[in-house]
């Protein structure tokens, strides 16, 4: 039933996606997108509320007896100049929907329309979270301040994925996306003349040693069976060839799928920084900022989702996909209530949809939109029934 109802709305979903694609907006700046979502929900007769300035929460069957589910779609774009040649290319210079969030929003609108049409036949409540600011990992928590997940039994989110062929979906249980935290290390030495190193404490040498010592965290301290990353992405120091620098600043990120390792990273970084700085007579200060937690799919919900995929696409629709070291702020939903982050295939080289996410030529096979919209709706129904 869902498959048929959604396919009748395929053109609507594609049209919405193209509109969102044309007018991409940065994190927490999604004013136009938010307004359009609100207008569409109003048109369908779905009650809604604006939260976190640009977030929209829709309610279907509010107060109805039974279980409650939260469906989530993110809506922000990226600071990327689009290099596609499309009729509906971004008109906002330097901003592009290069991650597929335009599709997520359109799919959830399509699902909302259909679910609302058949709401009397649905047991339980559906809450629609149109979420801002996923790309800076702040939108989910900001929405919860005004519209928490209290009383919600399950959650479901989708990410379109260009590495997965259109027509296939991954919903397996366990860790799916990594934690993504940030660190900044400021090393302070003592500046001086490049010809007289003995009078100085060289911040460049200390920071260089530290970058190398940090490499042993993953290779020597963490189990080889636990995928983890410590990356120093930026190293800034010095002003001149013959001046010994008094300060160096390193910036980097950590990734892991294991919450325990994640919680240890800060102390490990502090220990290695102190040890290295002591060796070179410098001092170091570590500022550790928590970004996203690992996104971990619930076992039981993953089974329900697999069933939903099979209902829509048959047994062939399921694909196994390796977990991803990228971060996703849907983790804050999954931390509170059991659920699934599904990866819906959007790739199709024949339609130019083979560029990675965040690429200036990122594109999707729009046939995936119907699948994603149907999956939102089908999962909601299947979860509420179970
Ligand atoms: Ni994304």
CA distance 145 to 61: 22
Q: Record the pTM.
A: 0.90
Q: Rounded to the nearest whole angstrom, what is the distance from the C-alpha of residue 205 to the centroid of ligand 1?
A: 38
Asked whether residue 237 falls in the same domain as residue 380, the answer is no
| CATH number of the domain residue 31 falls in | 3.40.630.10
**Tell me: the pLDDT tens digits for 135-188?**
999 999 999 999 999 999 999 999 999 999 999 999 999 999 999 999 999 999
Tokens encoding 47: 């009650």
Give mean pLDDT, residues 248-253.
Answer: 97
Asked whether residue 286 falls in the same domain as residue 357, the answer is no
Q: Rounded to the nearest whole angstrom, what is the distance from the C-alpha of residue 135 to the centroid of ligand 1?
A: 7
Q: How far is CA 278 from the centre of its chain?
A: 38
The DSSP-derived string for 32-68 is HHHHHHHHHHHHHT-EEEEETTTEEEEEESTT-SS-E
Asked whether residue 160 falls in the same domain as residue 209, the answer is no
Domain interval for residue 106: 2-176+294-385
Q: Rounded to the nearest whole angstrom, what is the distance from the C-alpha of residue 280 to the centroid of ligand 1?
A: 42
Asked whether residue 106 falls in the same domain as residue 184, the answer is no
**Tell me: the pLDDT tens digits for 295-306?**
999 999 999 999
Of 157, 144, 135, 149, residue with least CA distance to 28: 135
Q: Provide the pLDDT confidence category of residue 383 given band limits of 50, 70 and 90.
A: very high
Q: Rounded to the nearest whole angstrom, what is the distance from the C-alpha of residue 99 to the centroid of ligand 1?
A: 5
Asked whether residue 164 falls in the same domain as residue 188, the answer is no
Residue 211 has pLDDT above 90, yes or no: yes
Q: Rounded to the nearest whole angstrom, what is the distance from the C-alpha of residue 217 to the centroid of ligand 1?
A: 28
- Give the three-class secondary structure for 346: strand
The DSSP-derived string for 268-328 is HHHHHHHHHHHHTT-EEEEEEEEEEPPEEE-HHHHHHHHHHHHHHH-GGGB-----BSS--
Q: Rounded to the nearest whole angstrom, what is the distance from the C-alpha of residue 100 to the centroid of ligand 1?
A: 6
Asked whether residue 166 falls in the same domain as residue 231, the answer is no
CA-based R_g, the chain, Å: 24
Strands of the chain, DSSP E: 47-51, 55-60, 68-74, 125-131, 154-165, 169-170, 174-177, 179-188, 192-193, 228-237, 243-244, 247-256, 283-292, 295-297, 339-347
Contacts with 139 (C-beta within 8 Å, 6 or more apart), sequence order:
27, 28, 52, 55, 74, 76, 131, 132, 133, 329
Q: How far is CA 89 from the centre of its chain?
A: 23
Q: Rounded to the nearest whole angstrom, what is the distance from the C-alpha of residue 156 to the centroid of ligand 1?
A: 15
Q: Rounded to the nearest whole angstrom, what is the distance from the C-alpha of residue 329 to the centroid of ligand 1?
A: 9
Q: Rounded to the nearest whole angstrom, what is the distance from the C-alpha of residue 121 to the centroid of ligand 1?
A: 33
Q: Rounded to the nearest whole angstrom, what is the distance from the C-alpha of residue 91 to the centroid of ligand 1?
A: 20
Contacts with 150 (C-beta within 8 Å, 6 or more apart), sequence order:
none
Asked whether residue 153 falls in the same domain as residue 213, the answer is no
Distances (CA, A) of 81 to 18, 33, 78, 87, 88: 17, 19, 9, 16, 14
Domain final residue pick, 240, 270, 292: 292
Q: Provide the pLDDT confidence category of residue 72 given band limits of 50, 70 and 90.
A: very high
Q: Rounded to the nearest whole angstrom, what is the distance from the C-alpha of residue 196 to the centroid of ligand 1?
A: 51
Q: How far is CA 88 from the centre of its chain?
A: 24
Q: What's residue 102's pLDDT?
A: 98
CA distance 329 to 332: 6
**Tell me: the pLDDT tens digits for 327-349?**
999 999 999 999 999 999 999 99
Tally of structural domains, the chain = 2
Asked whether residue 255 falls in the same domain as residue 308, the answer is no
Kindly state the helix (H) or strand (E) to which residue 116 belongs, with its residue range: helix 101-117
Percent of the chain at pLDDT exceeding 70: 100
On whether the CB atoms of residues 54 and 34 are closer than 8 A, the answer is: yes
Residue 354 has pLDDT above 90, yes or no: yes
Q: What's residue 386's pLDDT?
A: 82
Q: Rounded to the nearest whole angstrom, what is the distance from the C-alpha of residue 75 to the centroid of ligand 1?
A: 9
Kindly state the helix (H) or strand (E) to which residue 261 belongs, with its residue range: helix 259-279
Of 68, 335, 315, residue with least CA distance to 177: 335
Asked whether residue 96 falls in the same domain as residue 149, the answer is yes
Q: What's residue 283's pLDDT?
A: 98
| CATH number of the domain residue 222 falls in | 3.30.70.360
Asked whether residue 24 falls in the same domain as residue 136, the answer is yes
Q: Provide the pLDDT confidence category of residue 30 given band limits of 50, 70 and 90.
A: very high
Asked whether residue 220 falls in the same domain as residue 311, the answer is no
Mean pLDDT of the chain: 97
Domain final residue pick, 292, 309, 326: 292
Q: What's residue 107's pLDDT?
A: 98
On whether the CB atoms of residues 319 and 309 are closer than 8 A, the answer is: no
Q: Rounded to the nearest whole angstrom, what is the distance from the C-alpha of residue 127 to the centroid of ligand 1?
A: 21
Unique residue bearing structure tokens 């929460």: 57
Domain final residue pick, 257, 292, 327: 292
Asked whether residue 341 falls in the same domain as residue 203, the answer is no
């Amino acid at each position: 039933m869902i498959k048929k109802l959604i396919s009748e709305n395929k053109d609507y979903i594609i049209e919405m996606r193209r509109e969102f694609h044309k007018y991409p907006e940065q994190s927490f700046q999604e004013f136009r997108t938010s307004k359009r979502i609100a207008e569409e929900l109003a048109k369908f007769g779905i009650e809604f509320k604006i939260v976190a300035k640009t977030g929209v929460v829709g309610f279907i069957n509010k107060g109805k007896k039974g279980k409650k589910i939260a469906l989530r779609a993110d809506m922000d774009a990226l600071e990327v100049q689009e290099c596609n040649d499309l009729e509906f290319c971004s008109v906002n210079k330097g901003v592009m929907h290069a991650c597929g969030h335009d599709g997520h929003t359109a799919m959830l609108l399509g699902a909302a329309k259909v679910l609302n049409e058949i709401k009397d036949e649905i047991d339980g409540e559906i809450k629609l979270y149109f979420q801002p600011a996923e790309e800076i990992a702040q939108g989910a928590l900001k929405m919860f301040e005004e519209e928490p997940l209290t009383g919600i039994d399950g959650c479901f989110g989708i990410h379109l994925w260009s590495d997965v062929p259109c027509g296939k979906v991954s919903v397996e249980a366990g860790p799916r996306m990594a934690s993504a935290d940030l660190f900044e290390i400021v090393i302070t030495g003592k500046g001086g003349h490049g010809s007289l190193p003995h009078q100085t404490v060289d911040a460049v040498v200390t920071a260089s040693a530290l970058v190398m010592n940090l490499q042993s965290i993953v290779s020597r301290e963490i189990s080889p069976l636990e995928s983890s990353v410590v990356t120093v992405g930026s190293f800034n120091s010095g002003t001149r060839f013959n001046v010994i620098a008094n300060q160096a600043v390193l910036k980097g990120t950590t990734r892991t799928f294991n919450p325990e390792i994640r919680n240890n990273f800060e102390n490990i970084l502090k220990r290695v920084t102190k040890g290295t700085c002591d060796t070179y007579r410098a001092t170091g200060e570590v500022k550790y900022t928590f970004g996203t937690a690992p996104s971990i799919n619930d076992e039981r919900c993953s089974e329900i989702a697999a069933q939903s995929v099979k209902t829509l696409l048959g047994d062939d629709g399921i694909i196994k996909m390796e977990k991803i070291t990228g971060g996703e702020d849907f983790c804050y939903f999954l931390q509170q209530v059991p659920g699934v982050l599904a990866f819906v295939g959007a790739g199709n080289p024949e339609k130019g949809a083979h560029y990675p996410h965040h690429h200036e030529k990122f594109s999707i096979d729009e046939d995936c939109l119907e699948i994603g919209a149907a999956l939102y709706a089908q999962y909601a129904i299947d979860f509420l029934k179970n």
